[in-house]
């Protein structure tokens, strides 16, 4: 149960940070390009790399809890793109290039198709 609470609390903090960052960027850059989302994904991916690198190098006794709270919770709530990026790099570092490419291709293409299908279903046919 403690693991779920760590992820949930971290996720709430990350989601609020994403919302705040998005509003802040939108005020500075009020154009149609999704700069806020792109910056959030970049910052989240950098933060994930730093965190996992530090935890792997130092391996403190609280590393599993920190990973759940910060990586899965906060960064997962801030941007799931950071998790996607980490998974892709892990595959590449294992030398599993085909699987990494397949993962990236399927994740991007199937997610875009899924979103589009969801929109089509909810929009229905014009009356």
Assigned domain for 119 exists:
no
pTM of the model: 0.74
Assigned domain for 64 exists:
yes
CA torsion sign, 25 to 77 to 47 to 69? positive
The answer to whether the annotation marks 79 as part of a ligand binding site is yes
Assigned domain for 103 exists:
no
Assigned domain for 38 exists:
yes
- Domain that residue 73 falls in: 2-79
What are 12-44's pLDDT values in tens digits? 999 999 999 989 999 998 887 888 888 998 998
Assigned domain for 112 exists:
no
Percent helix / strand / coil, the chain, rounded to 5 = 85, 0, 15
The answer to whether the annotation marks 124 as part of a ligand binding site is no
Assigned domain for 52 exists:
yes
Domain total of the chain = 1
Assigned domain for 71 exists:
yes
């Amino acid at each position: 149960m403690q693991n779920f609470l760590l992820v949930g609390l971290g996720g709430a903090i990350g989601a609020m940070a994403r919302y705040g960052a998005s509003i802040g960027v939108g005020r500075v850059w009020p154009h149609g390009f999704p700069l806020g989302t792109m910056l959030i994904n970049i910052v989240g991916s950098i933060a994930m790399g730093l965190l996992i690198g530090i935890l792997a190098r130092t391996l403190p006794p609280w590393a599993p809890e920190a990973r759940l709270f910060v990586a899965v919770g906060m960064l997962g709530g801030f941007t799931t793109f950071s998790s996607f990026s980490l998974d892709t790099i892990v595959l590449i570092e294992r030398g599993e290039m085909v699987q990494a490419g397949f993962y990236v291709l399927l994740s991007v293409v199937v997610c875009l198709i899924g979103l589009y299908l969801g929109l089509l279903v909810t929009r229905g046919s014009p009356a």
